[in-house]
Amino acid sequence: MDVRLTSEQRQLRDAAAKLADDLGPGSVQELSDDDRVARLDKAVDGTGWRSLRADGASGVEVAIVAEEFARGLVDAAFGGPVLAGELTRHLGGDAAADTIAVAGHARDARGARRALALDGGRVLAHGLGAAVAGADLTRHTAEVTGAPEPLGTLQADAAGRWSALALVVTSADLVGVSRGAHALACDYAKVREQYGNAIGSYQAVAHLLAEGLALIEGSVSVLRHAAWAVDELGPAEAVRAARIAKLYCARAARTVCETAIQVHGGIGNTWECLAHVYLRRALASTDLFPVRLEDIHSGLS
């Protein structure tokens, strides 16, 4: 047993982190900087990471990129295209410019032309309609339009693994969000002074942030197992591992993001502070492929 990342995986992580740091939104204003988003999108395109799976990458590599992108609030599509690619990979089609449709909406729809839904094993392609306002300020949701075009049917095993991968991608997103929000709060706690000291020097603040780090460490561990399990365990076990990761990472992310707001005080409750952008992304990733506690013991669905 050795559950460390390989050196190639660490390189992938560093490359994804660098891209996110260089081109992700550094502030709320930058969310509406269309030039930046276009450059980011182009850079993501250039990496070929949206078709990682088709190129033979494991769930672990997908999770690595998803996590770093969420940490940097990357507002170009990634998870949607990857999951769409995973559907067409089995059917032998071309997934370029596709994303996924879940619960009647196209998700992570920036730049997408079609949205693929998995409906009881059948893969259906939908057209994209108008944008839908949602909680998430970094990823787009859109209506789906027209009669769905059937693309084929996935074997039960492949469908199960797809569900596991979907949970892993959103769990990795949650871990990245936690890390990003936590770093934002730690940075602020070091510079904001009240009563003559940095607020991070007060135990009330320091302990909140220390707890946040512990939650992140726990999240990383469950995520890593679930990401590995996508390809290495049977589908039922992979889904179970992914559900556990999703539940844990979602709770942790909400707490960590709420803490980030709290540490910022009044500013944390304003639109201009990035803390709520993280929180909103966490809520959206929790709601996408949601898992309830009572689901851990139920079978594949």
Residue 107 contacts residue 252 (beta carbons within 8 Å): no
Write each residue from 232 to 271 as x if it is in contact with ligand FAD (CB under 6 A), else as -, in one continuous string: ------------------------------xx-xx--x--
Write each residue from 207 to 226 as x if it is in contact with ligand FAD (CB under 6 A), else as -, in one continuous string: --------------------
> Interface with ligand FAD includes 199 (CB under 6 A)?
yes
Q: Report the 10 Å Cβ neighbour count for 254.
A: 18
Q: State the Cα–Cα distance between residues 65 and 61, nearest whole angstrom.
A: 7
> Interface with ligand FAD includes 194 (CB under 6 A)?
yes
Closest distance to ligand FAD from the beta carbon of 262 (Å): 5
Residue 282 contacts residue 239 (beta carbons within 8 Å): no
Closest distance to another protein from the beta carbon of 230 (Å): 25
Q: State the Cα–Cα distance between residues 199 and 190, nearest whole angstrom.
A: 7
Query: Which CB sits closer to ligand FAD, 166 or 263?
Result: 263
Query: Which CB sits closer to another protein, 175 or 283?
Result: 283
Query: Which CB sits closer to ligand FAD, 153 or 255?
Result: 255
Query: Which CB sits closer to another protein, 71 or 276?
Result: 276
Position closest to ligand FAD via CB: 265
DSSP at 28 = T
The residue with tokens 């909400």 is 254
Residue 257 contacts residue 178 (beta carbons within 8 Å): yes
β-bridge mates for residue 131, sequence order = 142
Closest distance to ligand FAD from the beta carbon of 206 (Å): 9
Report in angstroms the alpha-carbon separations of 183 from 154, 189, 217: 41, 10, 14
Write each residue from 132 to 171 as x if it is in contact with ligand FAD (CB under 6 A), else as -, in one continuous string: ----------------------------------------
- What are the two backbone dihedrals, phi and then psi, of residue 196, each rounded to the nearest 5 degrees? 80, 0
Q: State the Cα–Cα distance between residues 88 and 118, nearest whole angstrom.
A: 11
* Residue of 107, 73, 13 lying closest to 273 (CA atoms): 73
Residues that bind another protein (CB under 8 A): 133-136, 194-196, 199, 202, 204-205, 258, 261-262, 265-266, 268-273, 275-276, 279-280, 283-284, 287, 290
β-bridge mates for residue 142, sequence order = 106, 131
Query: Which CB sits closer to another protein, 230 or 279?
Result: 279
HSE of 264, CA atoms in CB hemisphere, 13 A:
23
* Among 48-56, 67-75, 88-96, 199-207, the segment contacting ligand FAD (CB under 6 A): 199-207
**Interaction site with ligand FAD (CB under 6 A):** 192, 194-195, 199, 202, 204-205, 262-263, 265-266, 269
